[in-house]
Amino acid sequence: MKLLVTGGAGYVGSVCAARLVETGHEVVVVDDLSTGHADAVPDGATFVQADIADVAADLLTGGFDGVLHFAAKSLVGESMVDPAKYWAGNVLTSLRLLDAMRDNGVPRLVFSSTAATYGEPEQVPILETAPTRPTNTYGATKLAIDHAITSYAKAHGIAAVSLRYFNVAGAYGRFGERHTTETHLIPIVLQVALGTRPAISIYGDDYPTADGTCVRDYIHVLDLAEAHLLALANTRAGEHQVYNLGTGTGFSNREVVQTCRDVTGHPIPADFAPRRAGDPAVLVASATAAAENLGWKPERTDLHTIITDAWAFTRDRA
């Protein structure tokens, strides 16, 4: 297929673009490099450096079979202090993209949604039918785009799939996580192992969990990419399917830090800091819908494997 990959110079986007190229698709990456890296665009993909909102209408006249839409602002904290950046950067940009798809009859869309659309869960594991009550602006903008996709799919026959990522981690060779502003647990802990940060502060040790720290569902970025390939192959005209992507197993922040110690052989000093605002105690996906409807089965579910791959990437880039 001829595919437009927005945000294909970013972490998840570059891994997915690499797998799309490897599986024989013709890939055009569009990325404004506001957070991505030009050298993360995989060989074999055509790269257009631009803001999608500006170029979608022109680009999509080129006979595309589908769009994978990764480009987004994705810092939860920032979304609370600068909401305009998220409503414009995520929602308005996505509407321009949907308009261009409609106008050019582009038939398929796979969208990067998030567990943040659910907010504080009433039940874990979280099903796709759970209430969507985002607790931050980032999640609210992703949910708004999900709603827009539902309408466009119905009205214009677009075959759409939203994939709600839980905590993405790990790396795929030279494609991995490198944010200028890093807020995610595993990369921060690995910076301590690398020696570029003195210690890790674990936010909160009084949560109602087995060891008092938050529990998250870590999904290997390569398993995530495989879900995108399956989603692309299983779209249905006029329908908007929504799937959680997680493993169904949670690991606590303490377990993450200890596994990083085991993988890196570094003592990784840790202290406890107050809870971070808006952090739910436990976020674990029910991934049965993606298994049943897409035939997706994550294969790298072991935390040690996920962190080993992330560490290999971090060390190589140092």
Among the listed residues 6, 14, 35, 74, the single contact to ligand UFG using CB under 6 A: 74
Q: Of 65 and 78, which has the nearer Cβ to ligand UFG? A: 78
Among the listed residues 93, 132, 167, 235, the single contact to ligand UFG using CB under 6 A: 167
Query: 144-179: buried (b, 16+ CB within 10 Å) or exposed (e) per residue?
Result: bbbebbeebbeebebbbbbbbbbbbbbbbeebbbbe
Q: What is the 3-state secondary structure (H, E, C) of 13-53?
A: HHHHHHHHHHCCCEEEEEECCCCCCHHHCCCCCEEEECCHH
Query: Strands 251-252 and 215-216: what pairing?
Result: antiparallel
Least distance between ligand UFG and beta carbon 281 (Å): 9
Q: Among the options 11, 86, 118, 138, which is catalytic? A: 138
| 165 catalytic per annotation | no
Say whether residue 41 binds ligand UFG (CB under 6 A).
no
Say whether residue 235 binds ligand UFG (CB under 6 A).
no
Tokens of 184: 């995610």
Say whether residue 202 binds ligand UFG (CB under 6 A).
yes
Say whether residue 216 binds ligand UFG (CB under 6 A).
yes
- The whole-angstrom separation of Cα 168 and Cα 218 is 6
Q: What is the dihedral of CA 222, 164, 128, 251, to 10 degrees?
A: 60
Say whether residue 116 binds ligand UFG (CB under 6 A).
yes
C-beta separation of 112 from 139 below 8 A: no
Least distance between ligand UFG and beta carbon 176 (Å): 15
Say whether residue 197 binds ligand UFG (CB under 6 A).
no
Which strand ranges, in their side-by-side order, compose the sheet holding 159-165?
Answer: 46-49, 26-31, 2-6, 66-69, 108-114, 159-165, 240-245
Contact stretch for ligand UFG (CB under 6 A) within 155-163, 170-178, 181-189, 292-300 = 181-189
Which of the 8 DSSP states describes residue 8? Answer: T
Among the listed residues 113, 253, 286, 314, the single contact to ligand UFG using CB under 6 A: 253
Among the listed residues 20, 71, 224, 283, the single contact to ligand UFG using CB under 6 A: 283
**DSSP string of 141-156, one letter each residue:** HHHHHHHHHHHHHHHH
Say whether residue 214 binds ligand UFG (CB under 6 A).
yes
- Other CB atoms within a 10 A radius of the CB of residue 312 amount to 15
Say whether residue 203 binds ligand UFG (CB under 6 A).
yes
Least distance between ligand UFG and beta carbon 204 (Å): 7
Say whether residue 196 binds ligand UFG (CB under 6 A).
no
Tokens of 29: 């990456």
* Residues involved in catalysis: 138
Task: Kindly list the residues in this chain that would bind ligand UFG in the complex (CB under 6 A).
Answer: 74, 76, 114-116, 138-139, 167, 183-185, 188, 200-203, 214, 216, 253, 276, 279, 283
